[in-house]
Structure 1
């Protein structure tokens, strides 16, 4: 087993560089391309940050496997007996392009198929949320206490804008049962707000790089992370993912008309 301290020392140095790259990126021309549709964007900065992470991983931990949002993908990820890294270089790319705010950078580490370490960098706030089962969860150098296990009626709910507009699985019923709705447009920030108790739940359709880091941190903090159709998580598949306090999770799922349940 790799010492978590060895991994963390290297990774925190990388995020110091990534923070600087992202905060100064508006000084360079931004090249924007569409992926699946006009709301699914990728920029040269996304690609630059992912390339930086890949280079550092391959140099420092050469026997690793990698899954990156922008195309870096090794074979044999799900059964690899070693370190597997999941990279989301810029999470909330639309926010980054249009606002230069409300976006994150994320990295998850798995070892022998088990959750090892997760990292979510809130770039604008310059706060790195990180941790794992061996060390707890931190914001920069401050250890976080688990959020209060409140019911849905006592807090705010974060749901993807598309799910809300389409009333996917009747999510509006869950919204009405809460104290209010928030839509941030970033999975990383969505996880951070549940980790810190600012919201009681976050629900969105997510790719593996969207939830890999947050899932590790949420589990350590005693939160529930699950697919709403009850299927197991798959490192290579997208899912409708809910992260919530245990009490809020029960309340949310009672309100949803979930597929295949």
Structure 2
């Protein structure tokens, strides 16, 4: 059953990504949400409708939590099959750069991180896996990143956390080999999965975290809360995704 779901979801994601790229240079509506940096476009909403409709066909009994609110009205627990959908991650980049954005989906079954999908949209690369099957970039199986130290690693930290000096993170950045920021959870997560980054730290909402958590844990990476509240994929969290060595180094500096 999961094999069939996985195959159909991969096809659905590639279909939605083709449509997204085809509209990249077209005219679309842009609106603000919480502030002028928090954007939503008509393409976000179109993608969400298409993804949610496709997921209901693939997994009819599932509930759907999606960023723009087109899924189920309330998803208060992870009982049964729950899909978590980010229809266009990095919308500000999409609008301003036409680059560095993605699409993310995850399936949790009775609370267990089960399947994850991150589409690197412009490069048309799909990172997917879970369920003890491994993690793949398209058809190529990824090997777990080398377990380096903070000093040896590039890291990504949300700019808001650096600017506000949250959890001593500016000092963490200074202790690293270097600081890199895409402004897209999809791109930052891919960086950690592939070993280009040793860690990613950000305040993540459910749709920002769900897919990356599945894939990172499948590779044996650390997914931890920095703010001490623990990981709750149905709420917002200050999250560290990292190799185990880098996670240890960072956590000793943020305590």
Q: TM-score normalised by the shorter chain: which range applies?
A: over 0.9
With normalisation by structure 2, the TM-score equals 0.96
Counterpart of 1:197? 195
User: Distance in 2 between the 1:183 and 1:29 partners?
Assistant: 28
Q: How many residues align?
A: 255
1:126 and 2:131 aligned? no
Counterpart of 1:16? 14
User: Distance in 2 between the 1:240 and 1:195 partners?
Assistant: 19
- 1:152-231 residue pairs with structure 2 within 5 A? 152-231=150-229
Q: Which moved more, 1:158-167 or 1:95-104?
A: 158-167
1:113 and 2:111 aligned? yes
Structure 2: state its 5+ residue gaps.
none
Q: Which moved more, 1:34-43 or 1:167-176?
A: 167-176
User: Distance in 1 between the 2:89 and 2:63 partners?
Assistant: 21
Deviations 1:100-147 (A, max 9, x none): 100010000111221110000000111000000331100000000000
With normalisation by structure 1, the TM-score equals 0.94
1:28 and 2:22 aligned? no
Deviations 1:23-81 (A, max 9, x none): 11124312111101111110000000000011111122211100000013425635454
User: Distance in 1 between the 2:132 and 2:222 partners?
Assistant: 19
The one of 79, 82, 101 equivalent to 2:80 is: 82
Determine helix, strand or coil for the equivalent of 2:136: strand
The one of 66, 69, 89 equivalent to 1:68 is: 66
Structure 1: state its 5+ residue gaps.
none
User: Distance in 2 between the 1:111 and 1:169 partners?
Assistant: 32
Determine helix, strand or coil for the equivalent of 1:190: helix
Q: Which moved more, 1:58-67 or 1:197-206?
A: 58-67
User: Distance in 2 between the 1:105 and 1:127 partners?
Assistant: 11
Task: Tell me how far 1:4 sits from its aligned partner.
Answer: 2.3
User: Distance in 2 between the 1:95 and 1:141 partners?
Assistant: 27
Flag as ranges the 4+ runs of structure 1 deviating above 3 A: 75-81
Q: Which moved more, 1:10-19 or 1:44-53?
A: 10-19
Counterpart of 1:233? 231
Determine helix, strand or coil for the equivalent of 1:135: coil
Task: Tell me how far 1:231 sits from its aligned partner.
Answer: 1.7
CA contact (8 A) 2:132 2:218 kept: no
User: Distance in 2 between the 1:161 and 1:146 partners?
Assistant: 27
- 1:27-66 residue pairs with structure 2 within 5 A? 27-66=25-64
CA contact (8 A) 2:5 2:58 kept: no
User: Distance in 1 between the 2:67 and 2:73 partners?
Assistant: 15
The one of 135, 138, 141 equivalent to 1:137 is: 135
Counterpart of 2:247? 249
Q: Which moved more, 1:28-37 or 1:137-146?
A: 28-37
User: Distance in 2 between the 1:255 and 1:20 partners?
Assistant: 43
